Structure 1
Amino acid sequence: MKFEIKRDRLLDGLNDVMKAVSSKTTIPILTGIKFDLTTAGLYITGSDSDITIQTFIKAEENGEQVINIFENGTIVVQARMFNEIIRKLPTNAVEIEVNGQNRTHIRSGKSEFHLIGLDASDYPLLPDIQDDHQFSIPADLLKSTIRETVFAVSTSESRPVLTGVHWQVKSGELECLATDSHRLARRKVTLQQLPEEEFKVVIPGKSLIELNKVIADSSQPVHIMMTQQQVLFKTEGILFYSRLLEGNYPDTSRLIPSDYNTTITLDGKALLQAIDRASLLAREERNNIVQLTSLGGNIIEISSSSPEVGQVEEEIQATSIEGEEMKISFSAKYMMDALKAFGGHDIKIQFTGAMRPFILNSVHDKAILQLIVPVRTY
C-alpha cells in the first residue's frame, strides 16, 4: 500500500472517524483506525463497537487530484498516535507506505515516522444493514431535531433504555422523544416518503451527540436505514452506524396533560435570561430551584433564595396570562435546557397545578414540546 495525500483532507477525515474511537475498548484492535485504499479513493474507519464511522476521501475532487495512488491495500494504525503525527507534520504533502510486515512509513518534508501497524483482516466488518426501514431527512433539520431532544435523555444507567431517544414513525410523521422521568422533550417532523409501516427504535443519546458533530449544517439529505439492532445515517462521504438500545420505551403519552388551569405567553429569551440570573443563587443550593409566580397586570416574578447567600426577585412582562394564579418551583437547569430548544422565540407555558407537570410550546410552532416536572419546596 502506497499513496500521497493532502494533509488537510486527511485531517478532515480523521476528525470524523476519531469521534468513534475509544481508548477504553476491550477489543485492542479498536484502538486503531482502518485505512482501505482503492482505485477510487481512501476509506477510513473508526469504531468502539457501539458507534462506527466510515469516511471516504475521493482520489479526485472537482477536477483536483487529492490522492496519488501507487498501490492499493489496507492497514490498521494506532488511532491517537497517527492522528497526532498527521496533525504536526511540517508540510501539506503526506506520503504513506506500508510494507510486508505492516510497518507503516509516514513522510512529509524532512520528517519521517515509522509505525507498527496491525493486520486489517482482524478489524471488525461494518454492520450489515438491509433497508428494512429507510427514509431521508435534510441535514439541518436532523441536527436541530437532535439538539431539541437529546439533552433530556437520562444519564443514569439504572434504566438503560432512557439513555436513548425514542424515534417512532407513525401516521406519516417522525416523532423523536427523550425523557429522564423528570422532564421530557418531544419533536415531531413531517417528512415526504416515510415508510407506511409503523416502527420504533431507541437510539443512544451519546450516538446522536456524536452524529451531530459529524453532519454538515446543510440542506443535503441524510439517508437513514434501520434494522432491529442497528441504525445507519448516510451522507455524501460519511457512513455513521450506531447500535440501538434494547428494551421497551415507556408510554409517555399519559404524562402530557390535556387540559390546563393557567396559560402564560411571553418572550422565551427574556425568561431564559431571568432564570439564568436567578440560578446564580439557586446554584448554591443542592437542587438549583427557581420559583415562578404570576402577578397581576400580566407580570410574572422569577425568584430564588439561598439561606447562606441571599435572595433574588425579577419581574417580567408577559404577553398574556390566562386562568388561575400560579406559583410553581422547578429546576433552573431543566427549564433553561427546555427554553434553549426554542431558540429564543415567544413561548406558551401551560400549567395544570403547582405539583403537576407543565408544558412549553413555541407560539408559532407546535412541533416542539417540552415537559418539566415541578419540585416540591414545602
Structure 2
Amino acid sequence: MLVEITKDSLMNAIQCVIKAVANSSIPILQGIHIQAGADGVTFRASNTSMTIQYLVAQDGVSVTVNRTGAIVIPSRHFHDIIRKFDDDKIILEIKDPLILAIVSGHSRLRLCGMDPSEFPSMDHGEAFPLIKIRMNTSLFRSTIKQLALVASTSETSPILTGVSLECRNDCLNLIATDGVRLAYRALHLEDATKNSVNAIIPAKNLYELSKMLNKADETTEIEVSNNRVKFMTNGLKVESALIEGTFPSIKNVIPQSYLSEIAVDKAFLLKAVECATVMASAHVIRLVANADTLKLLSKTADVGDIQNEIPIVEMCGEEFMISLNGKFFFDIIRNMDSASVRIRYAGKTSPVVVLPDDSLMSSLFLITPVMTR
C-alpha cells in the first residue's frame, strides 16, 4: 500500500469511524481497518453493536493511491499522531509486513499493525435485504435526532433503548420512548415498497449516525435485514445490530381528546423553559395557561423562585395548570423544526401532547406530567 492523502481528508475519515472503535480487550477491535483500492481509501471501525465505514474517493487531490493494500492500525495512536501533524500532505506506506510507515513533512514514524483478514467484514453473505428505503438525508437526520434523544438510556429495559422502525407500503413510522417521554414521526416514502418490516435500532447508534449526516441535497439509503440495518450515503456506510423483541404499542398512550390546546412561539417557549429549569428543584417546572399568557414557574427551597411569561398566540378550551420535567420538555422543543409549537392538555394525569405547528410535519411528542402538591 502506498497512499498520498491530505491531512483534512484523513482526519475527517478517522474522526468519522473512530466512533465505532470498540472498548474491548481484543486488540484488533481497538484498531481502524485501512484498505487502499482503485476507487480510493476505505477506513472501517467496528464493535459488537455498530460498524462505520468511510471512503475517501481517489481524485488526485484529496487522495492518490499509488499501490493497493490493507492493514489494521491501533486507533488511538493513529488519531493522536495525525492530529499533531502540521504538514497538509501525508504519505501512508506498507513497506514491511504489518508495519505502516507514515511520512508528513519532516516527520517519519512507523506503526505496528495487525492482519486485516481478521477484522470484521460488512459483507455477511446475505442475498437480499428485507427492505430498501431511500430518503432525503437532511430530513432523515433531523428525524433521528428528535427520536434518539427520547429513547431510554437504562439497560433495565433494553427494548426502550431503541427506536422502533415500522415500514408499511409508502409510510415509515418511527417511535421512541423512555416511559416518561414519547416521540413519534411518520415519513412518506417516494419509492413505495410492497414489503413491510419492523425493526428496533439502538438509539445511541442512530444518534452517532445523525452527527455524521449533514448534506441537505443528498439521499440516504437504508437496508434492513434479519438482524441488522445498514445506512449508506456519499461514501459513508454505517451498520447497526438490531435489538430483539417487540416494541410496546402506543395506541392507548396518545390521548384521543383534549380539554385545551394552545399555540406559542417556539423561540419564546424554549428560552422560558430553559430559564425556569435553572431554578427548578428536581427539574420540575409548572405551566399555567390562561386566555392570553403562558406562565412558567419553578422554585428551589432556600435558593429562590422564578416566573416567566410568554404570549399565547392561540388558545382553544379551558385554562390549565400542569407540572413537567423541564429538562425533558426542553429537549423535545429544542429539536422541533417549526417556528411555533402546539401544546395539548388532556387532564391532570394524562400525558401532555406537544406538536410542531406545521401541518406538513407528521410529528408528535408526549411528556408525562409530574405529580406535585
TM-score interval w.r.t. the shorter chain? Answer: over 0.9
Q: Distance in 2 between matches of 1:217 and 1:14?
A: 19
In structure 2, do the counterparts of structure 1 residues 256 and 33 end up closer, same or farther at CA, with 3 Å as the change threshold?
Answer: same
- Distance apart, 1:375 and its partner CA: 0.6
Alignment of 1:267-282 (within 5 A): 267-282=265-280
With normalisation by structure 2, the TM-score equals 0.94
Q: Distance in 1 between matches of 2:341 and 2:86?
A: 52
Alignment of 1:35-114 (within 5 A): 35-60=34-59, 64-114=60-110
Tell me the equivalent position of 2:314. Answer: 320
**1:38-80 deviations in Å (ceiling 9; x for gaps):** 22221111112311111112222xxx44434333211111011
Q: Say whether the 8 Å CA contact 1:59–1:66 is kept in structure 2.
A: yes
In structure 2, do the counterparts of structure 1 residues 70 and 345 end up closer, same or farther at CA, with 3 Å as the change threshold?
Answer: closer
Tell me the equivalent position of 1:209. Answer: 207
- Give 2:163's match in structure 1, choosing from 156, 162, 165: 165
- Distance apart, 1:171 and its partner CA: 4.6
- Distance apart, 1:376 and its partner CA: 0.4
Q: Distance in 1 between matches of 2:353 and 2:245?
A: 27
Tell me the equivalent position of 2:365. Answer: 370
In structure 2, do the counterparts of structure 1 residues 96 and 180 end up closer, same or farther at CA, with 3 Å as the change threshold?
Answer: same
Tell me which moved more, 190-199 or 243-252.
Answer: 190-199
Q: Say whether the 8 Å CA contact 1:32–1:79 is kept in structure 2.
A: yes
Q: Say whether the 8 Å CA contact 2:165–2:199 is kept in structure 1.
A: yes
Tell me the equivalent position of 1:134. Answer: 132
3-state DSSP class of the match of 1:342?
coil
Given the alignment of the two structures, is residue 4 of structure 1 paired with residue 4 of structure 2, yes or no? yes
Q: Say whether the 8 Å CA contact 1:292–1:328 is kept in structure 2.
A: yes
Q: Distance in 2 between matches of 1:220 and 1:308?
A: 53
**Structure 1 spans left out of the alignment, 5+ residues:** none
- Give 2:287's match in structure 1, choosing from 285, 292, 302: 292
Tell me the equivalent position of 2:296. Answer: 302
- Distance apart, 1:101 and its partner CA: 3.1
Q: Distance in 2 between matches of 1:6 and 1:162?
A: 42
Structure 2 residue identity aligned to 1:337: D
In structure 2, do the counterparts of structure 1 residues 66 and 337 end up closer, same or farther at CA, with 3 Å as the change threshold?
Answer: closer
Q: Distance in 2 between matches of 1:299 and 1:8?
A: 51
Q: Distance in 2 between matches of 1:52 and 1:166?
A: 20
Q: Say whether the 8 Å CA contact 1:328–1:355 is kept in structure 2.
A: no
Provide the alpha-carbon RMSD of the alignment: 1.6
Tell me which moved more, 89-98 or 136-145.
Answer: 89-98
Q: Say whether the 8 Å CA contact 2:163–2:202 is kept in structure 1.
A: yes
**1:283-318 deviations in Å (ceiling 9; x for gaps):** xx2x211111223x3222211122221222223221
Q: Say whether the 8 Å CA contact 1:150–1:209 is kept in structure 2.
A: yes
Q: Distance in 1 between matches of 2:249 and 2:89?
A: 55
Tell me the equivalent position of 1:336. Answer: 330
Tell me the equivalent position of 2:235. Answer: 237
Tell me which moved more, 337-346 or 347-356.
Answer: 337-346
In structure 2, do the counterparts of structure 1 residues 363 and 3 end up closer, same or farther at CA, with 3 Å as the change threshold?
Answer: closer
In structure 2, do the counterparts of structure 1 residues 26 and 248 end up closer, same or farther at CA, with 3 Å as the change threshold?
Answer: farther
Structure 2 residue identity aligned to 1:367: S
Tell me the equivalent position of 1:124. Answer: 120
Q: Distance in 2 between matches of 1:79 and 1:11?
A: 12
Q: Distance in 1 between matches of 2:47 and 2:121?
A: 12
Tell me which moved more, 79-88 or 180-189.
Answer: 79-88
With normalisation by structure 1, the TM-score equals 0.93
- Give 1:115's match in structure 2, choosing from 95, 103, 111: 111
Q: Distance in 2 between matches of 1:328 and 1:15?
A: 44
Tell me which moved more, 352-361 or 99-108.
Answer: 99-108
Q: Distance in 2 between matches of 1:271 and 1:11?
A: 39
**Identical positions, percent:** 30
Given the alignment of the two structures, is residue 349 of structure 1 paired with residue 348 of structure 2, yes or no? no
Matched residue count: 370
**1:204-233 deviations in Å (ceiling 9; x for gaps):** 111111111212332211111001211111
3-state DSSP class of the match of 2:195?
coil
**1:154-180 deviations in Å (ceiling 9; x for gaps):** 011000111111111125211111100
Q: Distance in 2 between matches of 1:229 and 1:39?
A: 31
**1:247-268 deviations in Å (ceiling 9; x for gaps):** 1110112100111111112222
3-state DSSP class of the match of 1:168?
strand
Structure 2 residue identity aligned to 1:156: S
Tell me which moved more, 162-171 or 251-260.
Answer: 162-171
In structure 2, do the counterparts of structure 1 residues 355 and 25 end up closer, same or farther at CA, with 3 Å as the change threshold?
Answer: same
Tell me which moved more, 133-142 or 163-172.
Answer: 163-172
In structure 2, do the counterparts of structure 1 residues 315 and 7 end up closer, same or farther at CA, with 3 Å as the change threshold?
Answer: closer
Q: Distance in 1 between matches of 2:19 and 2:69?
A: 24
Q: Distance in 2 between matches of 1:324 and 1:341?
A: 28
